[in-house]
Amino acid sequence: MAINGKSMIEKISNSKHNPKSLNTISFFSGILGLDLGLKDVGLNILLTCEFNKTCQKIIELNEPDVGIIGDISKYSSSEIIKYSGQKKKSEIDLIVGGPPCQAFSTAGKRGGFTDQRGNVFLNYLQLIEEIRPEYFVLENVRGLYSTKLYIETSEYGLSGLSEIPGSALFYVTRKMEELGYKVNFNLYNSANFGVPQVRERIIIIGTLANDRVNFLSPTHSETGKFNLPKWVTLEQVLDNIDLEHEFVQFSSKTKKYLEYLKEGENWKNLPDDVIREAMGNSFNLGGGKTGFFRRLSLKRPSPTLVTHPSMPATLLCHPKELRPLSVQEYKRIQQIPDNYKLLGTTIEKYKQIGNAVPVGLGKAIGKTLINHKKRIKVPEFQSFQYSRYKNMSYDTWMRDFENNYMSKKVHQLNIF
């Protein structure tokens, strides 16, 4: 029910404070992909915060003891503590969240912090400042690395430099460090953590402890390097799904061209005499256009799951069948349990799953925090390639940004 007009569902947590765990508040919770991973490794989720009313219902349906609130901008820190079921801020050990990525996506208008969604990002930082948990986690898209702050500020020496690509990430990092947090970040490919999906996200972790949190520990590598298992493939997770598949349909035109293609192929493999007909005006677009008329390969992880699997430029066609991946296959790829209940239309379900953090990445984050809290040393993987891109870690990226900034080289950072 609505209380003070803030949310369709508001409920105080029934989860009890656990002194042996990291007691966690989750923001921008979606359908709890990140939270499921954290919970699987022993973290205690007290409260979720989610604006979307259907997602609120899904949280209530699957996690009835967890607290729920709505729009992050409508709640004070004291109200948030109340809904978490706790009496004081010191009982909150961890705040996690992935503020809406559209303001920072390379595919969007890139409004940064001037975008309303970017301001929600700032709301998130403000709540961390007020509650001061021992740890915070911030998950976002790769586009955050090159997003401009846009808001003019003299803080951290950024006066007159809000239009520099990367100034938003620099601002966030320095702001949290000024608050006393040791910050570390990197760009991580989810496939390196047992997820059957090539999905890259920046994970920023801060702690009030004396030493910063190490990089996430990979559990897999593409080729088996570092004596790790190879990446999990689609074949390993899509085999033997004994469920009725729910999916949208391709248009008759799309099916016509997909029928030419075998597993793992895309538009480039179409017969020469039909390529231009199939691609139309898109033929002259720049880039590899690998998402056009794309059949997935069972021998590889999935590409990043998008919120609609039949859009022309990001097609996700089943390796063998003439259809998009189903909702059930989306769940397998994001590692959401088969029996996890979703609500809404088929398109809404695709969006809910596609926006989620893969459970395996959530587990890796949780394990890394537990190891840091308990002072457990884990093997370090020197020169491990966490993503496709270079110089994306805190040390290398901040060094490059400051070198460009100090020399007044106002240009696109050479990181893509």
- Which range has the worst mean pLDDT, 57-71, 95-109, 173-187, 401-415? 401-415
Indicate if the pLDDT at residue 260 is higher than 90. yes
Number of other CB atoms surrounding residue 64 within 10 Å: 10
Q: What is the pLDDT of residues 325-382, one digit of tens each?
A: 999 999 999 999 999 999 999 999 999 999 999 999 999 999 999 999 999 999 889 8
Please give the structure tokens belonging to residue 126.
Answer: 């403000």
Range list for CATH 3.40.50.150 in the chain: 23-228+358-406
Q: Does 3.30.60.50 match the CATH number of domain 23-228+358-406?
A: no
Number of other CB atoms surrounding residue 61 within 10 Å: 12
Give the pairing type, strands 302-303 and 197-198.
parallel
Nearest to 97 by CA among 12, 25, 149, 13: 25
Rounded-to-5 percentages of helix, strand, coil across the chain: 35, 10, 50
Give the pairing type, strands 182-189 and 135-141.
unpaired
Nearest to 368 by CA among 181, 214, 219: 214
Indicate if the pLDDT at residue 198 is higher than 50. yes
Q: What is the pLDDT of residues 154-194, one digit of tens each?
A: 888 888 888 889 999 999 999 999 999 999 999 999 999 99
Q: Does residue 23 sit in helix, strand or coil? A: strand
Instruction: For the chain, give the number of residues.
Output: 416
DSSP 88-136: SGGG--EEEE---STTT-TTS---GGGSHHHHHHHHHHHHHHHH--SEE
What are the C-alpha distances in Å from 83 to residues 78, 207, 273, 301, 316? Answer: 9, 24, 62, 39, 40
Q: How confident is the model at residue 294 (pLDDT cuts 50, 70, 90)?
A: very high
More confident residue, 398 or 150: 398
Nearest to 232 by CA among 241, 222, 240: 222
Residues 6+ positions from 313 with CB-CB distance below 8 Å: 282, 289, 291, 292
Over residues 122-150, the mean pLDDT reads 94
Report pTM: 0.93
Q: What is the pLDDT of residues 261-275, one digit of tens each?
A: 999 999 999 999 999
Catalytic site residues? 101
φ/ψ of 361, rounded to 5, equals -70, -40
